[in-house]
Amino acid sequence: MINAKRLSGRISIITGGGNGIGEATAWRLSQEGAAVAVADFNEEAAKRVCQRLTDAGGDAISVFTNVLNSDSILKLTSEVTKRWGRIDILINSAGGFDQFLPITDISDEEWDKVVELNLRSTFSCCRAVIPIMTKQHYGRIINIASQAGVAPSPNAPSYLPYAAAKAGVIGFTKLLARDVGQFGITVNAISPGTTATERVVRIRGPETLQNMASLNPMRKLVEPEDSAATAAFLASDDARLITGTNINVNAGTVM
């Protein structure tokens, strides 16, 4: 059930907010009362999500953001603080990969591209908001990792550079949580199972996804809204003493 007041007055940034888990999280946080900056490299997608939020009565802006460019990230935080005066919540949802390759076919460039998009982007965005949250003595950071970074899935292949990057996100989350806890900042990760986003459906196909769902303990397909609900909880004061954790949202595929 959505609590329309749980995040009232909170200011959030969601990278990768133009689609998939990021879009679902933007909607959920907005429905729970947060103002939302939808940050995405796909400017049109960010604008579309922003319009959806404002049409529903939410307070939102869209910001073109390249999470691989530090200047672009600083421009994002500047626009948000100029508009609302603070940053309370950061959801690092930007990431992913485009193909599966065996290790012998993974070039140095391919490895770097995937690791930078999924791991370095998380570091860079956290680095940009930490000074603001430290000054406020308040912050909620939620990093979207993956079950691929926890353990190999028994019913689906994982991609090596992606799994390595997401494992790095989980380790980074724990260490950052320790370092910034004294400033009232919590840092947690969510590891979704294979989720039926538009990108994943394109890469794996609907038939493969349904077969994967039939093999997990709950016989359920993981949807973007499942991770979005978990993110809203971690962003709220209901989770005020939860930090340095990784929550698996995967219908029991990996335990």
Predicted confidence pLDDT, tens digits, the chain (255 residues) = 677 789 999 999 999 999 999 999 999 999 999 999 999 999 999 999 999 999 999 999 999 999 999 999 999 999 999 999 999 999 999 999 988 899 999 999 999 999 999 999 999 999 999 999 999 999 999 999 999 999 987 766 789 999 999 999 999 999 999 999 999 999 999 999 888 788 777 877 888 888 888 888 999 888 999 999 999 999 999 999 999 999 999 999 888
- Is residue 6 one of the residues assigned to a domain? no
Active site residue 159: yes
What pLDDT was estimated at residue 31? 97
- Measured CA to CA, the distance from residue 160 to residue 111 in angstroms comes to 9
- Amino acid found at 43: E
Asked if 62 and 38 count as a contact pair (C-beta separation under 8 A), the reply is yes
**Can you say whether residue 32 is alpha, beta or left, with left for phi > 0 and alpha for psi between -120 and 50 degrees?**
alpha
- Is residue 255 one of the residues assigned to a domain? no
- Measured CA to CA, the distance from residue 148 to residue 254 in angstroms comes to 9
- Is residue 191 one of the residues assigned to a domain? yes
- Is residue 68 one of the residues assigned to a domain? yes
Instruction: Return the H-helix or E-strand segment holding 163.
Output: helix 160-180
Marked catalytic residue, from 159, 162, 172, 233? 159
- What is the residue range of 81's domain? 11-249
- What are the start-end ranges of the E strands in 93-148? 139-144
Q: What is the CATH number of the domain that holds 243?
A: 3.40.50.720
- Is residue 167 one of the residues assigned to a domain? yes
- Is residue 183 one of the residues assigned to a domain? yes
Asked if 23 and 46 count as a contact pair (C-beta separation under 8 A), the reply is no
What pLDDT was estimated at residue 75? 98
- Measured CA to CA, the distance from residue 42 to residue 189 in angstroms comes to 24
Q: How many domains does the chain have?
A: 1
Asked if 248 and 255 count as a contact pair (C-beta separation under 8 A), the reply is yes
The CB-side HSE value for 34 (13 A sphere, CA atoms) comes to 34
- Is residue 1 one of the residues assigned to a domain? no
- Is residue 226 one of the residues assigned to a domain? yes
